[in-house]
Structure 1
């Protein structure tokens, strides 16, 4: 019969063959349907590529304003249309930290992929205005923001059409603020009490040796003229800045989201409570996404809570260099509660709207390069056997801008698996998305570079579970989605002339099935 293949899974298909005496603990089984594929590293004769001297072009499918970089985004939803208010930083800005010249931007969309830019206006030409804390009231949008003109308090603006705003001046004096530095605000409407919660962050600078002084406070109002005395909403105890806060409700639970770090604005984290004002509980994994999913804010369309974040550029377009303020809009995510009320992050767009031609189909296109002695091929994909050391298989084709989909299942013995891209080049092995089931983490790193991760985020996955995995490589922008639960954003700046896609196992059993790859449309390029 030859050497039998092995498949990892949690179901036994009796119609294929009955081998009850060969069943293994964990649900794996042996099947004669598998075909052994052999290591061809010694005979592989296709010409390798190289690092390209040309920069990677602008992203094709991720929105960026036509005249500047996109920053903190604040969505609203009305009559089937998304209104995305964002900070627009001109391309000619020399200081990406000081935000000199930042403007109020607005784009609308019905599908979260194709965005049309509008020109939002306010009736006061002297007003520096940002639609940050937004809420609907009496078919109008009420928007509160940091008043940097008079510097006397938080300002208020209103609009009937969500585009043209009327300035109502400062309505919440900074003298009310309990803290040294007033930061971003947000608004939450409590339908039961018919009451608006005005929430803002502060940074206390009184203790110069202690940089963890960021807190959130709130006041209530029903007319946006008089506000209750401020009270403490949440003290993280380890935040320097509590930026871009938001409060929303899904079902019976309240969710408080903010972006904080210990020495700079950092990862978006959230807390959960049964009450609007807490107490707030941290879930096991309290992050929405990676650190590169900046300043997320969400809105409900009446059915789902959708969050919007942005992916920053890096200084000199270099991996691992300093973040710059502003970048591109990340794909929006659905926030879906699990049974324990923690949040899943699921891609919110219809992916058919970003796809061009299909460039790989496992039923037609097989494999190119094979490394490792443990590979088998089924009628659905590739399988790597138990307790086998490193193995990798490259898909046929050259894939530059692409969306890739696979179903992946790993065994109890697996010590890591993933997808490599921009591989097949002299002196540069490309990048990889590495999933580590041992530490329950997900990484963007250079392929074969096991010491340093460019980006890391926590996950929670289990063996013998089929998980959908999607990878989108849109020029310098990388977005990955695992098991419809975990979303991962970042940048990979080094271009190559050979752009192979590889599937690999660091060690042990893993199965890659239902593999397909699509080229990306040119929406913004």
Structure 2
């Protein structure tokens, strides 16, 4: 049984998390990927979970509007509670409207008494982009109560219309305010850096003395980033590493429970279920736990409930293939200063958790884990590669002739020579999610299977490792 949630039909896209009474209500955009069967449009569905492992599907909660309506596609929004009722502000999207002179996007409203049964609010006047903003890029409302200013804030992914001084429309995090959630006034943008095409899925929260603004952008790296400030008004500062995962993880938003904050995003699938296919919109749910560091930076780690769900210990069967190796139970050591060393570790279950402490000895160039490997064809596999000389970790595919460059996914890591590196790797079908030192996440896909095994490799150096393999 898999651990990363995906609907039986289609894919999970943007997740809108809301926590109440210990239960996470995960509203999400459901892309059926079959318009011939389900018709055009994207509805909101609802999942409920306490542990990110067991889910209850409550079905469609906001259906698509009729053909030609403003909300034929129900795009991203938010959930808030006020005066005993729950409110959803969502993006009504229809890309067929601009050719007939109407905006593609507007902010719309729905209400509920129980978080499951929702009614679209026909009395709410849809919020369209005002003059000075691109009318077809006005989406992803995020609403919160600003206790300092005693009013509601609404953040939006928006773009300022092109100006002579800036001929390219520029992405901003737009700001509106309200006293009653019904009537909204435009304010100056909260964040306008002139860096990105747009700031999708904005999310704003506070931990301690710091405010954090999370958003996703597709103009540079197609990734989820964050900024930090001592004030809710900014200025919004970029940390040394502002990415929260790879470009394969997108549209992430957060929710808190009992003082712990979690990040919910989707791991994109690829066309034709191929390593060479184009990245798609939507895929499988990935959840990270956010940790604030003493200097205010954010890091992420695997939620403990997900790790605990892998309770079955599986045997590891080390067998040297290349180089010199010493094996003592689940502890191994080996390498070769002038070439590659490979140690096969047995069969790799379809869904599993690999937990390991890997120490690269001085001057070792590379080492890592081989996935979906054939012990007789040790040059073909997917690999999680540690590169201390570049301070990075890479998810790649290796063939006898070359690495497939467009496949690369990487994350920057601070790797100290001779210091143990703690890796936690979730493999769930084609999904691979790696955590480095309980601080850095790297999510990606591995479609092609070269075999059913897994192993350890070291290139031009030596390493020692203690590891375990667990299943659910």
Range of TM-score over shorter length? 0.7 to 0.9
Q: Is the contact between residue 360 and residue 397 of structure 1 (CA under 8 Å) also seen in structure 2?
A: no
Q: Secondary structure at the match of 1:316?
A: helix
TM-score (norm 1): 0.78
- CA shift, 1:397, in A, is 3.8
Q: Is the contact between residue 69 and residue 326 of structure 1 (CA under 8 Å) also seen in structure 2?
A: yes
1:64 matched to 2:19: no
- Residue 201 of structure 1: aligned partner: 157
Q: Secondary structure at the match of 2:174?
A: strand
CA deviation profile, 1:13-32 (whole Å, cap 9, x unmatched): xxxxxxxxxxxxxxxxxxxx
TM-score (norm 2): 0.86
Gaps of 5+ in 2: 95-101
1:368 to 294, 308, 319: 319
1:167 matched to 2:120: yes
Alignment of 1:384-399 (within 5 A): 384=334, 387=337, 389-399=339-349
- Residue 494 of structure 1: aligned partner: 448
Q: Secondary structure at the match of 2:242?
A: coil
1:358 matched to 2:313: yes
Distance in 1 (CA, whole Å) between partners of 2:279 and 2:160 is 24
1:512 to 462, 465, 469: 465
Distance in 2 (CA, whole Å) between partners of 1:100 and 1:437 is 48
CA deviation profile, 1:250-272 (whole Å, cap 9, x unmatched): 11101111111327x81111111
CA deviation profile, 1:136-165 (whole Å, cap 9, x unmatched): 223432221223489584222222211122
1:277 matched to 2:222: no
Alignment of 1:288-367 (within 5 A): 288-330=244-286, 332-351=287-306, 354-355=309-310, 357-361=312-316, 365=317, 367=318
Alignment of 1:425-436 (within 5 A): 429-436=380-387
- CA shift, 1:434, in A, is 0.7
- Residue 238 of structure 1: aligned partner: 195
Q: CA RMSD in A?
A: 3.0
Distance in 2 (CA, whole Å) between partners of 1:123 and 1:467 is 47
- Residue 98 of structure 2: aligned partner: none
Gaps of 5+ in 1: 1-58
Alignment of 1:175-190 (within 5 A): 175-176=129-130, 178-180=132-134, 181-190=137-146
Residues 308/94 of structure 1: CA separation in 2 closer, same or farther (3 Å cut): farther
CA deviation profile, 1:413-442 (whole Å, cap 9, x unmatched): 222221001112666611100121111222
Alignment of 1:75-114 (within 5 A): 75-93=17-35, 100-114=40-54
Alignment of 1:22-61 (within 5 A): 60-61=2-3
Q: Secondary structure at the match of 1:438?
A: helix
2:213 to 256, 266, 270: 256
Whose strand proportion is higher, 1 or 2? 2
CA deviation profile, 1:91-128 (whole Å, cap 9, x unmatched): 413799xx932111111011111111103445997665
- Residue 186 of structure 2: aligned partner: 229
Distance in 2 (CA, whole Å) between partners of 1:289 and 1:109 is 23
- CA shift, 1:383, in A, is 2.4
Q: Is the contact between residue 176 and residue 186 of structure 2 (CA under 8 Å) also seen in structure 1?
A: yes
CA deviation profile, 1:269-316 (whole Å, cap 9, x unmatched): 111101112101101110010111111001111311101011111111
Residues 76/177 of structure 1: CA separation in 2 closer, same or farther (3 Å cut): farther
Distance in 1 (CA, whole Å) between partners of 2:120 and 2:2 is 37
- CA shift, 1:133, in A, is 2.0
Residues 451/475 of structure 1: CA separation in 2 closer, same or farther (3 Å cut): closer
Distance in 2 (CA, whole Å) between partners of 1:60 and 1:447 is 26
Q: Which has the larger radius of gyration?
A: 1
Q: Secondary structure at the match of 2:5?
A: coil
- CA shift, 1:388, in A, is 5.7
1:145 matched to 2:90: yes
- CA shift, 1:83, in A, is 0.3
Kindly tell me the number of residue pairs found equivalent between the two proteins.
Answer: 451
Residues 177/256 of structure 1: CA separation in 2 closer, same or farther (3 Å cut): farther
Q: Is the contact between residue 321 and residue 375 of structure 2 (CA under 8 Å) also seen in structure 1?
A: no
Q: Secondary structure at the match of 2:25?
A: strand
| Deviating more after overlay: 478-487 vs 444-453 | 444-453
| Deviating more after overlay: 169-178 vs 133-142 | 169-178
Residues 125/369 of structure 1: CA separation in 2 closer, same or farther (3 Å cut): same
Q: Is the contact between residue 296 and residue 310 of structure 1 (CA under 8 Å) also seen in structure 2?
A: yes
- Residue 99 of structure 2: aligned partner: none
By relative contact order (CA 8 Å, sep 6+), the higher-ranking structure is 1
Q: Secondary structure at the match of 1:390?
A: strand
- Residue 97 of structure 2: aligned partner: none
CA deviation profile, 1:25-57 (whole Å, cap 9, x unmatched): xxxxxxxxxxxxxxxxxxxxxxxxxxxxxxxxx
Distance in 2 (CA, whole Å) between partners of 1:317 and 1:385 is 35
1:136 to 55, 76, 81: 81
Q: Secondary structure at the match of 1:507?
A: strand
Distance in 2 (CA, whole Å) between partners of 1:73 and 1:313 is 16
